[in-house]
Structure 1
Amino acid sequence: MRTIRGLFFVVRQYERAVMETFGKYSKYLHPGLHIQIPLVQLTRTRDIREHTMDIAPQQVITSDNVEIEVDGIMWVMPGNDEEYIKRTFYNIDRWKDAVLELAQTNLRQEFGHLTLDESLVAREQISKNMQISLDDLTENWGLKVTKVEIKLIDPPEDIKKAMHKQKTAEQERRAMKLIATGRFEAAEQDKLAAIQIADGKKEAEIKIAEGKAKAIELVNDAANKYFVGNAKELKQLEITETSLKDNSKIILSQDGITPTLLIGDLPVKTEKKSL
């Protein structure tokens, strides 16, 4: 805020001003060159740009009685019309301090409704709730809270160690689950591969058996076609061979091997010679 007492003065682009005559509000001033009566009139300006305000770290207690340290940041700006500017001057003293105190109180209330676990994952929701609540509460002061962000949520050391152990255990459990899943999938692949190998081997054996059967069929067909007429002669030769082994005598005819077999010695004629 600037207080202007001279005759001529300028209200900057990012400012709005109110003029008082004998201490009473008399005029709302936009940016530009203005004139006032010294000692009679007084002008005060207000910066209407967004103001960045840090919410100091503080201890809050969650609904499950865990004390944590939190802080934040918010953006606040005075309204840029006449009514809002008048409120910033006449409805609140040191509006920045008032907004910070209100934000700290609101912060404690928001975390007091949540457990520790809920607080750690509800950062965005807490920020949104605070922005809506603070904007509503500061409207009578001529202010607009445009944004709130929670920067730090810091549990006690023992809680952080326990959370770290829990996180590590969870990661190890997930890793073991992934390993087990990988082994199961590998076993399934091995099983499928074994089945395919067995099926292939069986199919190969069937093909081999079919080939052998086909070969036998071809041999039989050939035998029936080419050797039926010679089968009898082949049998006769076998009998002849057996007879010769036994020193048997045979009679051959002019028709070939169609003999009448005589088993044993043939009678031999002897001639007596005269003395």
Structure 2
Amino acid sequence: MERSKANPGTFLPYSSSRDRGSTLLRPSEAQRDAAVVCSGPWHGRGHSCIYGSMLQVFGSCIGFCGAIPCCPLPNPFRNVNQGSVGLVSRFGQFYKSVDPGLVQVNVCTESLRVVDVKIQIKPIGRQKVITRDNVDVEIDSVIYFQITSPYRATFGISDLHQALIERAQTTLRHVVGARMVQSVVTEREAIAFEIAEIVGDVADKWGVAIEGILIKDIIFSPEVSASLSSAAQQKRIGESKVIAARAEVDAARLMRQAADILASPAAMQIRQLEALQAMAKSANSKVVFVPMQLQSDVLGQIGEASGSHAHAGPSAVIREESGEGAVARAGLLNSMSNI
């Protein structure tokens, strides 16, 4: 504890720091102002009067006797649990703050209030809100807060929890009412963060720090739910059509490339030879239509083959030529011989 310079007998109030791991105590500026008020003229006048002094002495005597076990008088010792801060008031006026542990108070003149400085969770409740596009939604959320100034949270506002809930509900209606229903569904975290910032600015004056606001659930009417489901389904159908159209474009591009490749003379000759071979495998009578250019090439090839048959043979003639044309002519010769 730290004593006030203006009045050595007055202790400055302390507030809980926001360290997550432990509950530390440190003086705050607002509570220093409270200590100055406690050391004012009314504070000194109350303790200097005869009646106050008599009550102080009488309470000390009762407390001394009450500390004895099995004594029916009030016990002057009180417990302050870890994670809490005790605020002692004397004659209804704030006197000092105490750390967690065993605290002695005057049973006649002093009272102790225990303030929880841990992070607390409070349900905001289900709120019915109208969005900017005139859609009714119900939002269920909770608020996380921590008391950082026990003095302001106790003596600065009458009902802290109710004030936080009312402020959060009003801010929730304002923030959600300024958005479209699709934004409410997809930007839940952004909405919660905006509400926490607005409420935090006001709650700081009450000695409270807003840790966060969590939107638990967003409930729509059956008509709105069906409309949203239909919109999502139409969106998925549109995306599938776009994917199918892109696939058709890619397939057409590949077919165009394949057609350009197959349009070459060598490729056409190979396909003609494949057709002749397929027709030659049939046992029925057949009529073969041979292109004029291919026919002249075949006749010339047959003449050359017959002229040089004694020296080399058909394989040698084929070996002298090179490229796809030679392969085509060789296949054609084989097809004609099969026919």
- Is 2:297 aligned against 1:201? no
Match of 2:185 in 1: 120
User: Alignment partner for residue 138 of structure 1, among 182, 185, 203?
Assistant: 203
User: Alignment partner for residue 45 of structure 1, among 105, 114, 127?
Assistant: 114
Asked whether the equivalents of residues 6 and 36 of structure 1 are also in contact (C-alpha less than 8 Å), the reply is no
Q: 1:159-200, CA deviations, whole angstroms, 9 ceiling, x for partnerless residues?
A: 221222222122112212222222332232233223323335
| Alignment: residue pair count | 213
Q: Distance in 2 between matches of 1:30 and 1:174?
A: 63
Note closer, same or farther for the CA distance 1:33–1:202 as it changes in structure 2 (3 Å cut). same
Secondary structure of 2:82's counterpart equals coil
Secondary structure of 2:163's counterpart equals helix
**Comparing both structures, which one devotes a greater share of its residues to strand?**
1
Task: Give 1:203 deviation, angstroms.
Answer: 8.8
Match of 1:156 in 2: 221
User: Alignment partner for residue 139 of structure 2, among 70, 80, 84?
Assistant: 70
Q: Distance in 2 between matches of 1:65 and 1:178?
A: 34
Structure 1 residue runs of 4 or more that deviate by more than 4 Å after TM superposition: 202-205
Q: Distance in 1 between matches of 2:75 and 2:263?
A: 105
User: Alignment partner for residue 88 of structure 1, among 138, 153, 176?
Assistant: 153
Match of 2:82 in 1: 13
Task: Give 1:202 deviation, angstroms.
Answer: 5.9
Gaps in structure 2 of 5+ consecutive residues: 1-73, 274-296, 309-339
Q: Distance in 2 between matches of 1:114 and 1:102?
A: 19
Task: Give 1:37 deviation, angstroms.
Answer: 1.6
Note closer, same or farther for the CA distance 1:56–1:123 as it changes in structure 2 (3 Å cut). same
User: Alignment partner for residue 24 of structure 1, among 93, 98, 101?
Assistant: 93
Q: Distance in 2 between matches of 1:59 and 1:186?
A: 52
Q: Distance in 2 between matches of 1:122 and 1:183?
A: 36
Q: Distance in 1 between matches of 2:250 and 2:79?
A: 79
Q: Distance in 2 between matches of 1:19 and 1:6?
A: 16
Q: Distance in 2 between matches of 1:33 and 1:57?
A: 41
Q: 1:202-227, CA deviations, whole angstroms, 9 ceiling, x for partnerless residues?
A: 6979xxx7xx79x97xx89xxxxxxx
- Corresponding letter in the other structure for 1:154: I
Task: Give 1:130 deviation, angstroms.
Answer: 0.8
Q: 1:64-117, CA deviations, whole angstroms, 9 ceiling, x for partnerless residues?
A: 3222111211101111xxxx1111111122311221111111111111222223
User: Alignment partner for residue 61 of structure 1, among 130, 133, 136?
Assistant: 130
Secondary structure of 1:138's counterpart equals helix
Note closer, same or farther for the CA distance 1:24–1:6 as it changes in structure 2 (3 Å cut). farther
Q: What is the TM-score of this pair, normalised by structure 2?
A: 0.55
- Corresponding letter in the other structure for 2:102: L
Q: Distance in 2 between matches of 1:187 and 1:132?
A: 55
After TM superposition, the structure 1 = structure 2 runs for residues 102-121 of structure 1, keeping only pairs within 5 Å, are 102-121=167-186
Q: Distance in 1 between matches of 2:227 and 2:154?
A: 51
User: Alignment partner for residue 181 of structure 1, among 246, 252, 258?
Assistant: 246
Match of 1:267 in 2: none
- Corresponding letter in the other structure for 1:129: E
Secondary structure of 1:27's counterpart equals strand
**136-145 vs 150-159, greater mean Cα deviation:** 150-159
Over the aligned positions, Cα root-mean-square deviation in angstroms equals: 3.2
Q: 1:39-63, CA deviations, whole angstroms, 9 ceiling, x for partnerless residues?
A: 2211111111111111211211122
- Corresponding letter in the other structure for 2:267: K
Q: Percent identity?
A: 23
Secondary structure of 1:101's counterpart equals helix
Q: Distance in 1 between matches of 2:79 and 2:161?
A: 25
